[in-house]
Amino acid sequence: MLDPADTRFFQILQQVCGQSDDVDQACRDAIDRAVSTGDQLDLRAAREAVDRLDAPVKEAVLREVHLRMATDLSAVWDAKPGAPGKQRPN
């Protein structure tokens, strides 16, 4: 079973790569497959596809993914130790 943070990472990676003309279709397809199946082999293939991107493209994609993850307040709240389930104060 995937950790919720891993699931969010791949979903956001899929969004970011889908919005970039610099990411090749083979990489996008690998990420799409990983998101849809959640299979460990597909997840590894997606990570390897991202690793094969040109360095500047890879850095830009990962920078945007990490920015979106870091500013996703619902994800931050859910990851807090002792957070009362999925209930949020507001």
For residue 26, count other CB atoms closer than 10 A to its CB: 10
pTM: 0.82
Residue-wise pLDDT for 30-55, tens only, equals: 999 999 999 999 999 999 999 999 99
In the chain, what are the domain boundaries? 4-72
Cα distances (Å, whole numbers) of residue 59 to 13, 15, 40, 62: 12, 16, 23, 5
Helix residue ranges per DSSP H, 21-88: 25-37, 40-51, 55-70, 73-79
d(CA 52, CA 35): 19
Say if residue 86's pLDDT is above 90.
no
Query: Is residue 1 helix, strand or coil?
Result: coil
